[in-house]
Amino acid sequence: MCSIISEPTSSRNNYYKLWEQLELSVAIHRTYKGLSPDSLFSMALRVNKKRQFLFVSPLLAKHLAVHPALALGTGTLLASLLMEDAGLPAHPHAPEIVQMIETGVPDVKKIRKALDYKSILPEKTVFIGMAETATGLGHAVFHHFDKAVYVHTTREEISGLTPSFVFEEEHSHATSHKVYAPEGVLEDAEMIVLVDDEISTGNTLLNLVSALDGQFPGKTYKSLSILDWRNEKQQQKIGEMAAERSIRLDVLSLMSGEFDLIHGSSPDEPELASLAGTGSVAPVQIKDPGILLHRSKTGQRYVPLTGRFGLTSGEHRGIDAWTEKVVSTLQGSTGKKPLVIGVGENMYLPLRFALALDGNPLVQTTTRSPIFASDTEGYPIKEKVKFKLPDAHGVDQYLYNLNGLEIDKIYLVSESVVDADLWQPLIACLQKKAPVEWISLTETKGEIL
């Protein structure tokens, strides 16, 4: 394995050397009061020639396992930024959440109290979370606003539905985003809030706003992200687009800075074999009358509470009852250190489910994003497994750093199960780590409508 170093080689100049021939200079301009850059990101190598590195978040519950209080609290801080930007009082528990994120010490009582606080924006607002990494983050922001609507972008191909709009994310491993918003929601919106974990160059933001304004003109836009890496030229490009279209676009983030790629070649990684084996777990099926009739082209079913097809603030409140219902189905002890694994875009529901568990839970979500793994001191991605996403057309999925987790129970939360046999290689892998309970949020149905 190649030598990978993730610590800054010079704290003054913030040089990150990720490989012998890949080096970046990172400058931090501003962070949210009380937060350090180390609490917001680390760096790793991507297996992607379009973008050879990535900023790994310790807060999202995507590439790294995290306590649900930290992931949900990150959404609360972004919501507080938006409240203040709109002239409303800041979230009253923001300072406590900052301390929790900075120290990395979760406080379940504080986050539950923080989740009770909600505000109403002065404009009719739609929140859009970015797939796949920020679907949970977008939902966690939306949680704090009444009289609003949430929808997240998706890479899913839905049979019989035409997307409201489509746009491209050029540097991503999977580039096309689709949005299936309910009829009239985007037309009637006065403000659209776009939530992503990171703005790197601003091109995705530019493409998204251009696509939206082309079909739904006259909106005000707010962009919320943990990190904003745009340099002066990239900021100017966004400003020129907004001026040309006569729209307002404000960018709010927990940290802003910029990076410069000094050397740009990354190593080739040996091909990683997909998981094989047969597990011994069958899914516990949640019988939910709220199942959507929409199906993917491979027969996957969907639950409305994810927000993939639009979710009002009133409908969002049903997640409390949903959480109680799912927890009531659990078999035996929940464990003292449970790990909840969500699948792909389904991030927020596993976070809320984990928060309801006893003990010291962690949450992680499978991802399409391939990252180099190396057991090098200071490097965030130590090891990984690859498997084919069940009930999909050969999509590779990854899980990272399972071996380093101290856990005694695993909950695999899947939105749908079409063919249970296709899940068994992943089940077999997880069973080597801890006892597995598999939950399907819809009843298993093999037929495709």
Q: Which residues contact 363 (CB under 8 A, 6 or more apart)?
A: 61, 65, 66, 67, 68, 71, 339, 340, 341, 342, 350, 351, 354
pLDDT attached to residue 10: 40
Helix (H) or strand (E) holding 227: strand 220-228
User: What mean pLDDT do residues 112-133 have?
Assistant: 97
> In this structure, which amino acid lies at residue 90?
A
In this model, does residue 125 exceed pLDDT 70?
A: yes
Q: How confident is the model at residue 4 (pLDDT cuts 50, 70, 90)?
A: very low
pLDDT attached to residue 168: 75
The residue assigned the tokens 């491979």 is 298
User: What mean pLDDT do residues 170-185 have?
Assistant: 77
pLDDT attached to residue 288: 67
pLDDT attached to residue 104: 96
User: Where is average pLDDT lowest: 145-159, 230-244, 291-305?
Assistant: 291-305
Q: How far apart are CA 132 and CA 117, in angstroms?
A: 26
Q: How confident is the model at residue 266 (pLDDT cuts 50, 70, 90)?
A: low
Give the chain's length: 449
pLDDT attached to residue 130: 95
- The answer to whether residues 381 and 44 touch, using CB atoms and an 8 Å cutoff, is yes
Question: Average per-residue pLDDT in the chain?
Answer: 90
pLDDT attached to residue 260: 86
Q: Which residue has the higher pLDDT, 181 or 447?
A: 181
Q: How many CA within 13 A on the CB side of residue 405?
A: 30
Tell me how crowded residue 396 is: count the other CB atoms within 10 A of its CB: 16
In this model, does residue 267 exceed pLDDT 50?
A: yes
- The answer to whether residues 371 and 393 touch, using CB atoms and an 8 Å cutoff, is no
Q: How confident is the model at residue 394 (pLDDT cuts 50, 70, 90)?
A: confident
CATH class (in words) of the domain with range 68-259: alpha beta
Q: Assign 3-state DSSP to the chain and report helix, strand, coil percentages, each to 5.
A: 25, 30, 45
Q: How far apart are CA 289 and CA 143, in angstroms?
A: 23
Planar angle of CA 69, 323, 282, nearest 5 degrees: 110
Q: How far apart are CA 283 and CA 445, in angstroms?
A: 12
Q: How far apart are CA 72 and CA 77, in angstroms?
A: 9
Q: How far apart are CA 449 and CA 446, in angstroms?
A: 10
pLDDT attached to residue 5: 42
Strand order in the sheet with 409-414: 284-285, 436-440, 409-414, 338-342, 362-365
Q: Which residues contact 276 (CB under 8 A, 6 or more apart)?
A: 425, 428
Give the DSSP letter of residue 420.
G
From the number of C-beta atoms within 10 Å of its C-beta (0-12, 13-18, 19+), residue 111 rates as buried
The answer, yes or no, to whether the previous bond of 132 is cis (omega within 30 of 0) is yes
Q: How many CA within 13 A on the CB side of residue 255?
A: 25
pLDDT attached to residue 177: 84
pLDDT attached to residue 445: 58
The residue assigned the tokens 């999202």 is 60
User: Where is average pLDDT lowest: 116-130, 339-353, 381-395, 428-442?
Assistant: 381-395
pLDDT attached to residue 21: 66
Give the best-scoring range by mean pLDDT among 104-118, 251-265, 317-331, 391-405. Answer: 104-118
In this model, does residue 174 exceed pLDDT 60?
A: no
pLDDT attached to residue 346: 95
Q: Which residue has the higher pLDDT, 378 or 229?
A: 229
- Write down the domain spans for the chain: 68-259
Give the DSSP letter of residue 216.
S
User: Where is average pLDDT lowest: 5-9, 168-172, 324-328, 443-447?
Assistant: 5-9
pLDDT attached to residue 6: 43
